[in-house]
Amino acid sequence: MAERFETESRKLLGRLRDVMAGDDPGQARLDKITHLIADSIRTEVCSIYLFRDEDTLELCATEGLNAEAVHQTRMKMGEGLVGRVAKRRHVINTADAPNAKGFRFMPETGEEVFSSFLGVPIQRLGEAMGVLVVQSKEAREFSTDAVYALEVVAMVLAEMTELGAFVGEGAAMSARHSQPSMLRGTVAQEGVAEGHIWLHEPRVVVSNPIADDPHRELERLEEAVEEVRVGVDKMLQMSRDAEQRQVLEAYRMFANSKGWMRRMQEAISNGLSAEAAVEKEQSIARARMESVADNYLRERLSDLDDLSNRMLRILTGQGADTGAEMPTDPILVARNIGPAELLEYGRNLKGIILEGGSVGSHAAIVARALAIPLIVQTARVTNEALNGDHVMVDGEQGIVHLRPDDTVVTAFRDKMAMQTEALKRYASIQDKPALTECGQIVELHMNAGLMADLPSLESSGAEGVGLFRTELQFLVRNQMPRRSELSALYTRVLDAAQGKRVVFRTLDIGSDKVLPYMKPTDEPNPALGWRAIRVGLDKPGVMQMQLQALIRAAQGRPLTLMFPFVAQYEEYRQARAALDKAIARETRLGHVIPDDIEVGAMLETPSLGFAPRQFFEDVGFLSIGGNDLKQFFFAADRENERVRKRYDSLNVSFLSFLEQIVERCADTGTPLSFCGEDAGRPVEALCLAAIGLRSLSMRPASIGPVKSLLRRSNLEEVRKVIMDARHRGEMSVRPAIMKWLAEQG
């Protein structure tokens, strides 16, 4: 980079800063900036286009084009050269603009006399905010130095736009993040909620994009890189987990990358502060991330993104804790979140919106357990939402209304009122059984895992707890709970149940349920790996401790427990033997042993459906874990939205398999229930009942809607609809069932 240009660019940024320091209104600032840029680049035209809404760019200021066109000329994303720069987030530099691909003639601007065109995206963290354009009459391509200088200026403009420096009259001049925005995602937990945004990872704000002293800024950059390097090396020394090591190695590679460092140093030489230089590189990486199809490369770019965030936090001193106060009605926004982190927030949250995430994840299960509406796969939400923004979450349609206007607020509140009405209706059948029109009774139980769930046992009308996920108690802690703690907790659960049956599932960890205090294992495919009963049998200490805690907690009362993820009869036998050992030990120690201990297994792998008859005769009861069973039946990861969505739970093959299990259990008299998430979806629950399941366990909030539908339905008719669809060779029975339901009115 020529020294002359560096100085020019720095001078320009210095002048820009003076404009920013003045107290001109937004429009005057923009006008001055276009003037300054045209003057320094020595070109006739400089224009700034900003997004009026998600899809429309508006000419907001110009030096050299017709002044009347300001706030009049607009173009869609992708339209004309300006729209193309914004869409592709690429520079366009051409000596012959009227003949360039995509050129659109806009007579009102008077730009026809200008041949050369250089357009640079104004973007922040991969989000397009506008376009900065210079044009000249002389047919010439702008030099790479000019392009570079303009990119640096565009970076500063992006920061200023973000900080609201151009706020003024006109929609395009309103503060960013101040207009209503509607985002779409996928429903992972139904329900509607109104509240205010709480960002799980608050955005870093760069308030000083321009710096005077490049030497000091270079030092700051070096120091930050060094701090990251040392941190990464330390973590690498401690980490045993291959995947984590891979990410750390990638960090180290970037931290040592000469190209990355050089580009940031250049940006600083051109007048940017260290943090603005980091953010400039981060923006470029994010824009690339969107266009790269290769998974490996995407992951590396995402590592670079994380690394940049670390650097920004070091340079700005802004940690995860910004000191902001959590609103009283928080709606959590995050790229993704694990079950343990979510449990830490607990019931305080009114809703959750994730940019990534998946319906089948354990975070989703936790959200369901907590009855918090959850929307996953909501593109752009972490960019669009600011802490404290008013938001309405429509967990029926999968829509997020960010900063809603009055009409949306009114319509939404009507919807919430209707939901309250429905809840009243459900409350009226709370004490009635799920007695179908054809005279069958389906037992409805609830899933739980936290103490806070237990009041729902009364209010939901559940007959008992069909699945108590004991691992949630392990996930919320920073260290392994002690036996006495667990025993006290289980006692409270049984006390609260007041004699209703509670099925404790023994510790189900592994896969995505990672205990923070247990040494992580390095597995190529954790969902198929060392998890649940496999861990319990290989590491009997923890299982013994938990079994003893359960026996003690019962204090002589009946106890029901089941083992998760049993794939073959032998595993059940071994687990049962472990229980006998615990009983023998407790007897020796003089503790009261429950005189009735029911022991079951979860059927979560197809293999167990084909277990020998002796297993079905031996096991006390079976509970189908439909979430896992479905993922293994279809070989489709429950956490991977892309593949998960392909397979409907009402798929004929899956229902046929479930029916076979029902028949085998009927044959041996083995009590059977279903406790996967599908049990809580009314239409799915109806089909499960129609194929013969008489016990379903679900989140408490589903009991009302499921019971209400069952009480209105004739299972024999539903069964016939299923059989007919199967007979016709349909893939899923859903269309036929939905049609039948619509006909029932």
Interacting residue ranges for ligand PEP, rule: CB under 6 A: 365, 467, 469, 508, 604, 625-628, 675-676
Of residues 96 through 155, those in contact with Mg ion by CB under 5 A are: none
Q: Is 646 exposed, middle or buried (0-12, 13-18, 19+ CB in 10 A)?
A: exposed
Whichever of 404 and 625 has its CB closer to ligand PEP, that residue is: 625
Whichever of 395 and 626 has its CB closer to ligand PEP, that residue is: 626
- Could you write out the three-class secondary structure of 278-292? HHHHHHHHHHHHHHC
- In whole angstroms, the minimum distance from the beta carbon of 608 to ligand PEP comes to 12
Whichever of 9 and 605 has its CB closer to ligand PEP, that residue is: 605
Q: What is the DSSP string of 62-131?
A: EESS-GGGTTT-EEETTSHHHHHHHHHT--EEES-GGGSTT----GGGTGGG--EEEEEEEEETTEEEEE
User: Of 481, 508, 479, 498, nearest to 601 (Cα)?
Assistant: 508
In three-state secondary structure terms, 320 is: coil
Whichever of 404 and 625 has its CB closer to Mg ion, that residue is: 625
* Partner touching 119 among Mg ion, ligand PEP, none, CB below 5 to 8 Å by kind: none
User: Of 253, 251, 266, 257, nearest to 311 (Cα)?
Assistant: 251
Whichever of 34 and 447 has its CB closer to ligand PEP, that residue is: 447
Q: Which residue is nearest to Mg ion (CB)?
A: 628
- In whole angstroms, the minimum distance from the beta carbon of 506 to ligand PEP comes to 12
- In whole angstroms, the minimum distance from the beta carbon of 626 to Mg ion comes to 9
56-63 and 621-624 as β-strands: parallel, antiparallel, unpaired? Answer: unpaired
- In whole angstroms, the minimum distance from the beta carbon of 564 to Mg ion comes to 6
Whichever of 181 and 627 has its CB closer to ligand PEP, that residue is: 627
Whichever of 448 and 454 has its CB closer to ligand PEP, that residue is: 448
- In whole angstroms, the minimum distance from the beta carbon of 678 to ligand PEP comes to 8
CA dist 637 and 526 (Å) reads: 11
- In whole angstroms, the minimum distance from the beta carbon of 475 to ligand PEP comes to 11
Q: Give the interface segment with Mg ion, choosing from 371-379, 522-530, 618-626, 690-698 (CB under 5 A).
A: 618-626
- In whole angstroms, the minimum distance from the beta carbon of 566 to Mg ion comes to 11
**Positive or negative CA dihedral for 273, 278, 281, 285?**
negative
- In whole angstroms, the minimum distance from the beta carbon of 679 to Mg ion comes to 13
User: Of 282, 280, 27, nearest to 156 (Cα)?
Assistant: 280
* Partner touching 469 among Mg ion, ligand PEP, none, CB below 5 to 8 Å by kind: ligand PEP
Whichever of 494 and 696 has its CB closer to ligand PEP, that residue is: 696
Of residues 597 through 616, those in contact with Mg ion by CB under 5 A are: 604
- In whole angstroms, the minimum distance from the beta carbon of 628 to Mg ion comes to 4
Q: Give the interface segment with Mg ion, choosing from 18-26, 430-438, 445-453, 625-633 (CB under 5 A).
A: 625-633
- Confirm if 81 and 99 have CB atoms less than 8 A apart: no
Whichever of 176 and 505 has its CB closer to Mg ion, that residue is: 505
CA dist 602 and 506 (Å) reads: 10
Does position 471 interact with Mg ion (CB under 5 A)? The reply is no
Element (H, E) at 197: strand 192-199
Q: Residues with Cβ < 8 Å from 265, sequence gap 6 or more?
A: 218, 221, 277
Whichever of 195 and 626 has its CB closer to ligand PEP, that residue is: 626
Number of Cα atoms under 13 Å in the Cβ half of residue 251: 24
Whichever of 135 and 361 has its CB closer to ligand PEP, that residue is: 361
CA distance to 152, 166, 268, per residue, from 160 (Å): 13, 7, 17
* Partner touching 271 among Mg ion, ligand PEP, none, CB below 5 to 8 Å by kind: none
464-469 and 351-354 as β-strands: parallel, antiparallel, unpaired? Answer: unpaired
CA distance to 227, 268, 401, per residue, from 223 (Å): 6, 14, 42
List beta partners, residue 199: 333
Of residues 194 through 253, those in contact with Mg ion by CB under 5 A are: none
* Partner touching 675 among ligand PEP, Mg ion, none, CB below 5 to 8 Å by kind: ligand PEP
* Partner touching 46 among ligand PEP, Mg ion, none, CB below 5 to 8 Å by kind: none
Q: Which residue is nearest to ligand PEP (CB)?
A: 625
Interface size with Mg ion, residues (CB under 5 A): 3
Number of neighbours of residue 26 by Cβ within 10 angstroms: 21
User: Of 611, 634, 638, 635, nearest to 622 (Cα)?
Assistant: 611
Does position 628 interact with Mg ion (CB under 5 A)? The reply is yes
In three-state secondary structure terms, 505 is: strand
User: Of 729, 639, 127, nearest to 384 (Cα)?
Assistant: 127
Whichever of 47 and 560 has its CB closer to ligand PEP, that residue is: 560
Structure tokens at 517: 């205090």
* Partner touching 365 among ligand PEP, Mg ion, none, CB below 5 to 8 Å by kind: ligand PEP
Does position 677 interact with Mg ion (CB under 5 A)? The reply is no
Q: Give the interface segment with Mg ion, choosing from 238-246, 345-353, 461-469, 626-634 (CB under 5 A).
A: 626-634
CA dist 576 and 567 (Å) reads: 14
Whichever of 257 and 607 has its CB closer to ligand PEP, that residue is: 607
- In whole angstroms, the minimum distance from the beta carbon of 513 to ligand PEP comes to 8
Among 26, 600, 625, 626, binds Mg ion (CB under 5 A): 625
Whichever of 87 and 505 has its CB closer to ligand PEP, that residue is: 505
- In whole angstroms, the minimum distance from the beta carbon of 631 to ligand PEP comes to 8
Q: Is 65 exposed, middle or buried (0-12, 13-18, 19+ CB in 10 A)?
A: buried
Structure tokens at 537: 């049998």
User: Of 264, 338, 270, 341, nearest to 304 (Cα)?
Assistant: 264
- Confirm if 720 and 737 have CB atoms less than 8 A apart: no
* Partner touching 303 among ligand PEP, Mg ion, none, CB below 5 to 8 Å by kind: none
Q: Give the interface segment with Mg ion, choosing from 470-478, 624-632, 648-656, 733-741 (CB under 5 A).
A: 624-632
- In whole angstroms, the minimum distance from the beta carbon of 577 to Mg ion comes to 23
- In whole angstroms, the minimum distance from the beta carbon of 269 to ligand PEP comes to 54
Q: Give the interface segment with Mg ion, choosing from 348-356, 435-443, 453-461, 621-629 (CB under 5 A).
A: 621-629
- Confirm if 12 and 40 have CB atoms less than 8 A apart: yes
* Partner touching 130 among Mg ion, ligand PEP, none, CB below 5 to 8 Å by kind: none
* Partner touching 626 among Mg ion, ligand PEP, none, CB below 5 to 8 Å by kind: ligand PEP
- In whole angstroms, the minimum distance from the beta carbon of 362 to ligand PEP comes to 7
DSSP 8-state assignment for residue 651: B
- In whole angstroms, the minimum distance from the beta carbon of 86 to ligand PEP comes to 43
Whichever of 360 and 625 has its CB closer to Mg ion, that residue is: 625
The amino acid that residue 328 corresponds to is T
CA dist 255 and 336 (Å) reads: 25
The amino acid that residue 601 corresponds to is A
Please give the residue ranges that form the binding site for Mg ion (CB under 5 A).
604, 625, 628
